[in-house]
Amino acid sequence: MSDLSHPIDILILSNGPGELATWVKPVVRSLRQILGDDRALVRISVVLSPCPNASGQEADIALSYPEVDRVQAAKAFYPFLLRGKTLDHWDWRDRGVVLFLGGDQFFSVILGKRLGYRTVTYAEWEARWHRWIDRFGVMRSEIVDRAPKQQIQKLTIVGDLMAEVAHYREKEPSNVQQSEELIGLLPGSKPAKLAQGVPFLLAVAELIWHDRPQARFVIPVAPTLDLQTLARFADPQQNPILPLVDGVSAQLVLPTSATERAYLETQSGLRVQLCQNQTERIPVYSLLSRCDLCLTTIGANTAELGALAVPMIVVVPTQQLDAMRAWDGIPGLLSNLPGVGSSVAKLINWLYLQRVGLLAWPNKWANEEIVPELVGRLQPKVVADLALDFLNHPEKLQQMRDKLRSVRGEPGAANKLAQIVREELEKFDCKT
């Protein structure tokens, strides 16, 4: 609990849904544990910056976290950055910390100076603006090694925030029996990925099901996605990309009672359960952790699966290169420009996909391919055959689980980062 004697503000800067689920959520929990739940003394605000991966529901997600007091959506970010005024004219206490958890690290420099607050940045791969940031919590030692010698004292190794995932699993019950062979399908949450991912993974699932009729399939629906929107991508009348990826269509069947779940049903009779978290707007970790194997697109979901040590095959079909436009920074802005965006996206993705592997987060952590990455003009049978090989040889799945556990890192990063915030707040008292 906190023994702070003056009211303080903690301003968290973040951006996309992945950062909110895997960075912000565990950190705000740790902040409340360390600083206390007295809102008159400790107020936590979240300000979102624009992100090409955003769904538009990020503000609602952040507001659903009980530890957070107020949230400003990304559309009002730049006026706040430039003029220091939020859309709702928030007041600010005279002591506080700006905590960077996603976006551009320079934003915390500007806002820290404007508010007169201490600044703390979580650096996953690179720490920037060393002279102007007060403290860094970094994921790994290599970031410290690259820092200027005169600034090294500002950097503390806290570990990987995504390793906290395994310690925040949901407790909601599952309709899946433990004896069943469960395969997760993770096509993404944005239209660019869903258009290819949904029909393609349904086609893969049908091939696996034909060979292993005992298998059950589930789509853990992204917190920002509703079932009707997801189902549109399995409808050939609404998704013209479906035949391009040799995809399979399906129809949405909604539950008729509280004990049932919605599912997608293909023409051959395969039912793919749709699982939504009914209590919190975070990924359904309890369900994911039960999966024998997951077929997933690239993104934060690979980090979540890696942290849960769930075997996976990463699938990136490139039949429509301009479909992927969820890039950060200037590439993301250019690929979403009206008129020329499609051509720019094709070029960016073609250049990006020339690289060899290391698209999935666990592979980046290990600096080697420990989970398979299939990229290109993929056919469903190629992916299904690889999945069947793993399912027919459970020792291979176990080897992958063991490797994932070895690279995911130890939990505790959120508490360490919250402790750094506390130390910076105490420096206000040292000045008085």
Each domain of the chain, given as residue ranges in start order, spans 8-159+412-431, 181-318+353-407
The domain defined by 181-318+353-407 carries CATH number 1.10.10.920: no
pLDDT band, residue 89 (cuts 50/70/90): very high
Higher-confidence residue of 361 and 151: namely 151
Q: Which residue has the higher pLDDT, 164 or 171?
A: 164
Q: How far apart are CA 109 and CA 131, in angstroms?
A: 10
pLDDT of residue 168: 54
State whether residue 291 is helix, strand or coil.
coil
Domains 8-159+412-431 and 181-318+353-407 share a fold: yes
62: confidence class by pLDDT, cuts 50, 70, 90 = very high
Single out the residue of 252, 206, 262, 12 nearest to residue 122, CA to CA: 12
Mean pLDDT, range 231-241, rounded to an integer? 94
pLDDT tens track for 196-217: 999 999 999 999 999 999 999 9
DSSP annotation of 192: H
Q: What is the pLDDT of residue 189?
A: 82
The pLDDT value recorded for residue 188 is: 87
- Range of lowest pLDDT (119-133, 350-364, 367-381): 350-364
- Could you report the per-residue pLDDT of 242-291, keeping only the tens digit for each? 998 999 999 999 988 877 889 999 999 999 999 886 544 455 777 888 99
In degrees, rounded to 5, the angle at the alpha carbon of residue 276 between the alpha carbons of residues 272 and 277 is: 150
Question: Which runs of consecutive H residues, i.e. helices, occur in 64-156?
Answer: 77-83, 105-115, 141-145
pLDDT for the residue numbered 325: 46
What distance in Å separates the CA atoms of residue 394 and residue 105, rounded to the nearest whole number?
43
Six-digit token pair at 315? 């699938």
The model's pTM? 0.71
Percent of the chain exceeding pLDDT 70 equals 84
- Residue 80's pLDDT is what? 94
Query: What residues are paired with 48 via a beta bridge?
Result: 14
- Pick from 237, 199, 182, 248: which is nearest to 397 by CA? 182
pLDDT computed for residue 366 by the predictor: 85
What does the pLDDT read at residue 19? 87
Most confident range, picked from 219-228, 328-337, 357-366:
219-228
- Topology adopted by domain 8-159+412-431: Rossmann fold (3.40.50)
Stretch 213-228: mean pLDDT: 90
Whether the pLDDT of residue 409 is over 80: the answer is no
Average pLDDT for 347-369: 70
Could you tell me whether strands 263-266 and 250-253 are parallel, antiparallel, or unpaired per DSSP bridges? antiparallel
Q: Is the pLDDT of residue 171 over 60?
A: no
In the block, tokens 């849960």 appear at 308
Could you report the per-residue pLDDT of 298-318, keeping only the tens digit for each?
A: 887 888 898 889 999 999 887
Task: Report the percentage of the chain scoring pLDDT > 90.
Answer: 59
pLDDT in the model for residue 109 = 95
The CA angle 314-251-183, to the nearest 5 degrees, is: 30
Mean pLDDT score of the chain: 85
**Weakest mean pLDDT among 133-147, 172-186, 232-246:** 172-186
**Which residues have C-beta within 8 Å of that of residue 134, sequence separation ≥ 6?**
112, 118, 119, 120, 154, 424
Q: Hey, what are 420's tokens?
A: 């750094």
